[in-house]
């Protein structure tokens, strides 16, 4: 089976990045979102990112135009069902993901492959609620998608070897590197990354260090490109909390308990960069620590 037409459900930060890399690698991409505004914004972001690549002479104007020409949008989810490969990139809430796959079910082609870009939720559980668990897999891109080289491939208990090998080939065509992860809560990257971020928040919560000192220590002391609190804001504090809850619920170990300060920030609507406030305030010219 050749993957040529790709459906991306969710036009947010991850969805538009996934659409970008597939279009740039020669695939036809159909973006679906419940919000027309989100889809229009996604196209603007993709074009701006391609413009940046042109300015850096990584692609030509003609290649940019070709990539943009391969992307269309639709508010009708039934249209997405006609594609060869569907990548669900909606918010990290299991009930929403189940609702999406349920609404897709009557419209799917016989050989359509379903995937989820979930960063933590059980692939086996998501797949079991569909009519094709053998053609369902976790397809976890890293953020920002056009820059990050890794894609985690997560097999559910029923995922066929054919599906796995086909998607590994797709990752190769995108010019990225795949890594195989077992279907346990948060897989590999977030199983390691999120507890580190959560511990950094505990370090702030307990007064061991300020936002600035914690981020400086990890950037200069561990050679991280971003401090853990800066990174949490970039990811989205609501997403960080959702993943920590999946780890805590799925592994039943107190070491994964979300820091109360993380919970408080999310309850306040301080979700990081996307809401202009998190561990930093982004409303001015320069981000300023909020604690």
Catalytically active residues, by annotation: 119, 140, 152, 190
12 is in an annotated binding site: yes
99 is in an annotated binding site: no
102 is in an annotated binding site: no
253 is in an annotated binding site: no
15 is in an annotated binding site: yes
Rounded CA-CA distance 197/107 in Å is 40
221 is in an annotated binding site: no
93 is in an annotated binding site: no
Region of 175 (left: φ > 0; alpha: ψ -120 to 50; beta: rest) is left
264 is in an annotated binding site: no
78 is in an annotated binding site: no
HSE of 18, CA atoms in CB hemisphere, 13 A: 31
92 is in an annotated binding site: yes
122 is in an annotated binding site: no
From the centroid of its chain, how far is CA 32? 15
Handedness of CA 220, 278, 139, 11 (dihedral sign): negative
Binding residues: 10-15, 33, 92, 97, 119, 143, 274
Binding residues for NAD(+): 10-15, 33, 92, 97, 119, 143, 274
């Amino acid at each position: 089976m050749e993957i040529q037409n790709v459906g991306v459900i969710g036009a947010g930060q991850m969805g538009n990045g996934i659409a970008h890399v597939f279009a740039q690698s020669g695939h036809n991409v159909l973006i679906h979102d419940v919000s027309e505004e989100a889809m229009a914004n996604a196209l603007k972001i993709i074009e701006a990112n391609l413009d940046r690549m042109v300015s850096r002479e990584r692609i030509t104007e003609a290649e940019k135009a070709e990539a943009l020409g391969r992307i269309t949008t639709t508010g009708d989810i039934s249209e997405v069902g006609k594609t060869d490969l569907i990548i669900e990139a909606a918010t990290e809430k299991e009930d929403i993901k189940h609702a999406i796959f349920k609404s897709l079910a009557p419209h799917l082609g016989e050989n359509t492959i379903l995937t989820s870009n979930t960063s933590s939720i059980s692939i086996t559980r998501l797949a079991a609620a569909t009519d094709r668990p053998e053609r369902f897999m976790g397809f976890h891109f890293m953020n920002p998608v056009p820059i990050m080289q890794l894609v985690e491939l997560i097999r559910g208990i029923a995922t066929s070897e054919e599906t796995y090998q086909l998607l590994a080939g797709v990752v190769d065509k995108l010019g990225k590197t795949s890594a195989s992860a077992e279907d346990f809560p948060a897989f590999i990257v977030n199983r390691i990354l999120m507890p580190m971020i959560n511990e950094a928040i505990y370090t702030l919560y307990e007064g061991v260090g300020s936002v600035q000192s914690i981020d400086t220590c990890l950037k200069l002391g561990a050679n991280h490109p971003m401090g853990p609190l800066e990174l949490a804001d970039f990811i989205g504090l609501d997403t960080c909390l959702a993943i920590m809850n999946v780890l805590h619920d799925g592994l039943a170990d107190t070491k994964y308990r979300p820091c109360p300060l993380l919970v408080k920030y999310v309850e306040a609507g301080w979700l990081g960069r996307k809401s202009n406030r998190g561990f930093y305030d982004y409303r001015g010219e320069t981000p300023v620590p909020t604690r």
